[in-house]
Chain A
């Protein structure tokens, strides 16, 4: 069963409603789905005791009577709602709008946007008299998958039992393995694939060869998901070899499927994908195969930060011949991520809900819950994120716990669990979890443990069988380098980053941009500005050629930082800033733009006027606020506060810090509170005595 609950954003809105309802007079509009209303009223009653259930007005006379009564008294609030055909009620409301503000506050509960629209159209004068309007969202906890097996899995097992011929058995084995994979039971899926491969070994006919290829493809995907990229590449290459046995009409679609499954940096193997696209153009392909290519291309563009290129691939309708619901949900998951990266968070959440709904809820192990949980974290809804992530998504659960105040030392303890250490995909998540945590800046023991965790993952990766792809080695060098960004370890980090750049140049030029940026990041921290500029130049050229817009933005931001540090001329800095802004716009993502501006503002010295640190932070904050990403908004306010303190504007700084603290407290977000409160205390000291007393 799904539970409906109020989000933190809803509670915040209701806190404002409570203030309005506690005032002398107010006319408040509350858009709230009927199912959520009891929760909302219960919550409101904590601040406004005695609030009654909304009374549905039957007609204009009833509305007038209620308004007349309400205008005479100043104690009891009036809550009402509209009938199914509300025109008469709204007409009376419009005529007598003045009465809304004569007595105690009045709240009109509207079911949905359509009711809001009707109110506006029929009673625009009453609408214009509103004191405030809120829209409550609510959220549903994803339903747990019932005990037992999914339909597809049950069907696959039945087919498996009935299979008689070798081909039937092989086919049934493939179906069973796919069904297990689709519900996230990867280990079992691997076993079934291996059984299937035993059946198809030394396949003598096209049909069996085809099944063998598909089994190998699935094994490659499973290996990729486990972070065993070398093994994945090996298996997929083996499958590719087998396609040559088949006639072109059969082998081409299979080659496309194999190409789209190939691992690579940023989720796809660009070279293989380009080959697949060429095949598709030359020979033509079925719509569902085209959908697969477009999906993978979209994923690449999203990772690369080129959301404009991803847009038409996402927006084109897709058709699927088999596993309709599953494939559609995967597509919707990619679209959710696209919307999330574009900064369209509300739409992302809605799309994610639809994707989860398609599969009846987040399966344990399903990636759908992962993207949706990230969206909730972005939106500052940590409780909801935890409900969606559940226990399988350990990293996300830890991220949520960190945001809700669990000390990093305790989190590290959870991460040192053996299973996690062997998960090589954990390294970037590990870094993400701690790099932004305020404790990481100053706690050397924490820094040491983070480094250890990343090194353990590296060792575990090296122990994996098979040849390792160079690209992953390059990326891992980057992770290891960034884990050492703190002063005590930075020299080591820079050395690792240099290694990473050299390896990228030699083995995998796609990653020169990222490797160059990592090196530049560390060199800038270490004050090596000239060398940082050189890394930026090289990285930016590669990013530009390869279309890695996000990396290009980061590199251009690094260039600005280096120029500021080297006291470049104002003209040079302005040109660099203009180029940076232009490239940010090219991404088609306000989120990327906001993140770049925020990071730039954070990393600029407090005294910097060109570019204006304060203006950058304000600009980033405005972009984040529109998404909305309240935690980011608060962090931008902190940067503004820091800058204002430096400029001696203590009262303004205090305002920024206070707003950041209030927002984080409301969301239950903890890590930055102590730091912000300390800054508030410092800013208060700087106030003139009279203001000091009021602060």
Chain B
């Protein structure tokens, strides 16, 4: 047993604990699933040697600690690489908690179907307000900001304060605005237009809020005097137009917000040369490397680093009783996931499900292979010739042919790897299909007559 959760003793229990959801360190409410138990956390393998670079997350923590005020940090990584888990863990990191009051914002928790940069900034301000509304004093600046926002969107309202606490009217304004933005396309459009015509509106509100909160925090010696906002789910901005709107056109407005932040970033967003200063603020989470560059080989088994696979055995050992899953099945799942954690759990879980479905009492290599074949077939759905050509090229060159091919990272068709420099690899589960494709590209000799 590890932590609070007993290890799985049969395939049915194994299926539950292998659920590839982020681990939840927040304990704000009950866990969504036993698989989210933070006691399952297993640190990623670190390079050996006398002088080791910090892990990406350690590097991020150091950067946050050493940064000047109101810095913005970005966390980027492959779908399923563990960003949400690491962000959740960051929120409870003792070093961070010593220096910052952490405010977590998860877009998913807000009942909005769409998101643009104005809405994002509003949500950030709203998160701050919601957390500290009972504590902060409504000073003149804050009142002025709220009034300006209210006047711009709704009719003018008189704001009344009582005994230095934020007024009920502020609360009502926020709730009302949030509801409008949730339900009304027109409201969202107007809000967006407001951002274009009056850029300082939300900025002023957020600055005033931060000022009020920091003033409050400074009155307590046992509390940090700064906030750190952790914004998760921004990596789910998948539409290229929305990505441009938030992370390019209006990025300046986010950068100008007077609060320290860590934001997740979609893999499709690459800060260009005019954003060189921000690029250094991006932390990449790469999957643990399990494969070598292998342009001449289409068998992931032959391309695997055998000594890198112990980590994945550990991940399973934390959750499952020994003997329930054949170590070879774990090895296969790890290799075919390319090291991407969610894919590793998903493949292993598929094997467990298949074994259970067929009346077996453990997952062996045979069932795992059949599960992998099935996963490969499912992965190939919707792949057309141009996709195969691109993926083949990625496999042969370990490069992305064109900038727009970064979309393949979002689709989990390509994995972004790192061994001192960044390179790319086609999802190893697709390699046998790419091999068939590469053979078709070589035409057979003409047939001889009978």
Contact = CB atoms under 8 A, between A and B. Distances in A.
Q: Do A and B come from one complex?
A: yes
Interface of A: 15-16, 19, 23-25, 31, 59-61, 63-64, 68, 87-88, 91-92, 94-99, 101-102, 113-114, 116-117, 120-125, 128-130, 132-133, 135, 268, 270, 273-274, 277-278, 281, 296-297, 300-301, 308-313, 618, 621-622, 625-626, 633, 637, 640, 652, 655-656, 658-659, 661-663, 694
Contacts of B133: none
Contacts of B446: 312
A63 B113 contact: yes
A132 B353 contact: yes
A135 B381 contact: yes
Contact of A622 (B369, B377, B443): B369
Given A621-B366, A655-B360, A658-B359, A95 B353 contact: no
A121 B268 CA distance: 12
Interface string B346-359: 10001001000111
Contacts of A98: 21, 32, 108
B112 A95 contact: yes
A694 B21 CA distance: 32
B370 A122 contact: no
A117 B114 contact: no
Contact of B236 (A120, A125, A659, A661): A125
Contact of B233 (A31, A95, A618): A95
A19 B357 contact: yes
A39 B177 CA distance: 47
A317 to B, nearest CB: 15
A658 B360 contact: yes
Secondary structure call for the B interface: loop
A124 B412 contact: yes
A97 B113 CA distance: 11
Given A94-B238, A124-B79, A273-B450, A308 B444 contact: yes
Contacts of B111: 64, 68
A637 B360 CA distance: 13
Contact of B364 (A92, A121, A626, A655): A655
Given A91-B239, A274-B450, A277-B450, A116 B381 contact: yes
B246 to A, nearest CB: 13
Contacts, number: 148
Nearest to B350: A132
Given A117-B382, A658-B358, 12 more contacts: A16-B357, A91-B114, A91-B238, A95-B233, A95-B236, A97-B236, A98-B32, A102-B32, A273-B449, A658-B359, A658-B360, A661-B359
A95 B407 CA distance: 18
Nearest to B380: A113
A1 to B, nearest CB: 30
Interface string B190-206: 00000000000000000
B173 interface: no
A459 to B, nearest CB: 33
Contacts of B350: 132
B386 to A, nearest CB: 12
Contact of A133 (B21, B233, B373, B378): B378
Contact of B361 (A626, A655, A662): A655
10 contacts: A19-B357, A97-B108, A101-B19, A116-B381, A120-B382, A125-B79, A297-B447, A633-B370, A659-B367, A694-B361
Interface of B: 15-16, 19-21, 32-33, 79-80, 107-108, 111-115, 183, 233, 235-236, 238-239, 342-343, 346, 350, 353, 357-362, 364-367, 369-370, 373, 377-378, 381-382, 407, 410-412, 443-444, 446-450
A625 B369 contact: yes
Which 10 A-B pairs give the minimum distances between C-beta atoms?
A117-B382, A60-B113, A277-B449, A92-B113, A273-B450, A270-B450, A659-B358, A662-B358, A309-B447, A64-B113
B359 A659 contact: yes
A132 B16 CA distance: 13
Q: In this complex, which of A114, A117, A301 has the most chain B Cβ atoms within 10 angstroms of its Cβ? A: A117
A652 B361 CA distance: 10
B382 A128 contact: no
A267 B15 CA distance: 53
Given A60-B113, A95-B107, A113-B381, A274 B236 contact: no
B102 to A, nearest CB: 20
Contacts of A658: 358-360
A655 B362 contact: yes
Contact of B21 (A15, A101, A120, A268): A101
Contacts of A23: 15
